[in-house]
């Protein structure tokens, strides 16, 4: 090594050291963030230290997550890394495939051993506690199963469909499984899933609404009965946030508004708030624009419609149901919407108290796998 090489090496080492010191200093100075708009999730806060957490290893794990979440300019670094991976031909980032035609598709991760059994046991116990309640289960396949032609060639397929089959077989015989895969697959050339988000679009929700009507004996509303209104074309969803892929086109969001709109009341019980709309248009000014549907997720929402048939429906759900529920208002006098991730009361007692006779459990298969609150259904 000649003198110039040695000087250059020292210069580069000094720059690297200076960069490290500056980044470390910024991480100490910059206040911790609570929420990431780009990733649309809560960020890990500084964990509590104790001898027990240190010995168990939970402190070390939590601290690593905290450092990663609070790393200065984290969102920008994620975008840079994913951009470099994309230049190198990589088509997967953080469990998200970069698919054809601008689709970002989340990989399906099967559950741990015994997870399905625990959830089926809870559903069985709830069924036993509510014998007068007619139950329907709709576990919705994701874009990874329906839009396989958009996936990279190396992507594993068939896993999600196999898991859906296991759910169907494991359900108690008295519970009706609503298979919506054929309905979605038949519409796969239509925009039934967002390209940057894990949810189905309102058009996808409508396609499955038609299938549910067949199963429940309801007369469906025709698509021409609605005025389809686009409320934004600047929606970057949850998969965009998770993946780090930044050079993709945003989605648009459409609302299906009945042409013969009737009055109804929406009560957010825990919040003590009432609205006369299923849509929170102020959410369109925020990152999570999908929250325009039902103002996001809440423990319990009670909807009283203009129908006088006396029919009551309980919906136990994840956020897929938020854009689905508006199609049901023509069929029921009352609809109670429960999200088990936030609801802490005895649901069987609620059903019996309010004389509810029909129930729809509606989840997308990814959330059904991930949600640890489903076993609380019977508690």
pLDDT tens digit string along 193-212?
A: 999 999 999 999 999 999 99
> Per residue in 154-192, pLDDT tens?
899 999 999 999 999 999 989 999 999 999 999 999 999
Same domain for 172 and 275? yes
Residue 29: domain span: 3-102
> Per residue in 9-35, pLDDT tens?
666 666 666 655 555 565 566 676 665
Backbone angles phi, psi at 298, to 5 degrees: -140, 155
For residue 363, what pLDDT is reported?
98
> Per residue in 246-290, pLDDT tens?
889 999 999 999 999 899 999 999 999 999 999 999 999 998 999
The total number of residues shown for the chain amounts to 379
347 band by pLDDT with thresholds 50, 70 and 90: very high
For residue 188, what are its two tokens? Answer: 């796969």
Rounded to two decimals, what is the model's pTM?
Answer: 0.82
For residue 103, what pLDDT is reported?
97
Mean pLDDT, range 316-335, rounded to an integer: 98
Same domain for 135 and 96? no
Give all strands of the β-sheet with 96-98 in edge-to-edge order.
92-93, 96-98, 104-106
Same domain for 36 and 133? no
Same domain for 68 and 119? no
* Residue 29, C-beta contacts closer than 8 angstroms, at least 6 positions apart: none
Mark which of 102, 126, 153 sits at the end of a domain.
102
SS (H, E, C) the chain: CCHHHHHHHHHHHHHHHHHHHHHHHHHHHCCCCCEECCCCEECCCCCCCCHHHHHHCHHHHHHHHHHHHHCCCHHHHHHHHHHHHHHCCCCEECCEEECHHHCEEECCCCCCCCHHHHHHHHHHHHHHHCCCCEEEEEEECCHHHHCHHHCCCCCCCCHHHHHHHHHHHHCCCCCEECCCHHHHHHCCCCCCECCCCCCECHHHHHHHHHHHHHHHCCCCCCHHHEEEEEEEEEECCHHHHHHCCCCCCCEEEEEEEECCCCCCEEEECCCCEEECCCECHHHHHCCCHHHHECCCCCCEEEEECCCCCCCEEEEEECHHHHHCHHHHCCCCCEEEEECCCCCCCCHHHHHHHHCCCEEEEEEEHHHHHHCCCHHHHHC
Same domain for 92 and 151? no
Same domain for 329 and 212? yes
Total tally of structural domains belonging to the chain: 2
Mean pLDDT, range 104-121, rounded to an integer: 93
Same domain for 251 and 312? yes
pLDDT of 83 over the 70 cut? no
Same domain for 205 and 64? no
Same domain for 20 and 117? no
Same domain for 97 and 123? no
Place of tokens 């958009």: 150
């Amino acid at each position: 090594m000649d003198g110039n090489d040695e000087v250059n090496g020292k210069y580069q080492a000094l720059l690297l050291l200076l960069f490290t010191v500056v980044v470390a200093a910024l991480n100490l100075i910059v206040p911790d963030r609570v929420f990431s708009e780009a990733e649309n999730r809560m960020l890990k806060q500084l964990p509590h230290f104790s001898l027990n957490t240190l010995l168990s290893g939970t402190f070390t794990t939590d601290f690593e997550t905290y450092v990663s979440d609070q790393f200065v300019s984290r969102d920008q670094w994620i975008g840079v890394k994913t951009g470099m991976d994309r230049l190198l031909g990589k088509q997967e980032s953080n469990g998200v495939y970069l698919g054809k035609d601008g689709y970002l598709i989340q990989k399906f991760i099967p559950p741990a051993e015994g997870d399905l059994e625990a959830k089926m046991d809870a559903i069985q116990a709830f069924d036993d506690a509510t014998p007068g309640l007619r139950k329907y289960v709709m576990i919705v396949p994701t874009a990874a199963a329906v839009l396989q032609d958009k996936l990279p060639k190396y992507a594993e397929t068939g896993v999600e469909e196999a898991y859906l089959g296991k759910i169907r077989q494991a359900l108690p015989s008295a519970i009706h499984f609503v298979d919506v895969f054929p309905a979605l697959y038949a519409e796969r050339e239509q925009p039934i899933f967002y390209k940057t988000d894990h949810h189905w679009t309102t058009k996808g929700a409508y396609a499955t609404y038609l299938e549910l009507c067949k199963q429940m004996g309801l007369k469906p509303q025709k698509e021409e009965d609605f005025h389809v209104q686009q409320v934004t074309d600047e929606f970057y969803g949850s998969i965009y946030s998770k993946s780090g892929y930044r050079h993709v086109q945003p989605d648009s969001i459409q609302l299906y508004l009945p042409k013969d709109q009737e009055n109804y009341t929406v009560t957010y019980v825990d919040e003590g708030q009432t609205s006369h709309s299923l849509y929170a248009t102020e959410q369109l000014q925020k990152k999570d624009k999908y929250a325009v549907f039902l103002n996001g997720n809440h423990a319990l929402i009670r909807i009283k419609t203009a129908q006088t048939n006396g029919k009551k429906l309980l919906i136990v759900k994840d956020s897929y149901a938020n854009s689905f529920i508006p199609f049901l208002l023509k069929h029921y006098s009352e609809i109670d919407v429960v999200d088990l991730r936030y609801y802490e009361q005895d649901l069987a007692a609620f059903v019996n108290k309010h004389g509810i006779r029909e129930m729809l459990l509606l989840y997308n298969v990814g959330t059904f796998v991930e949600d640890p609150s489903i076993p609380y259904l019977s508690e």
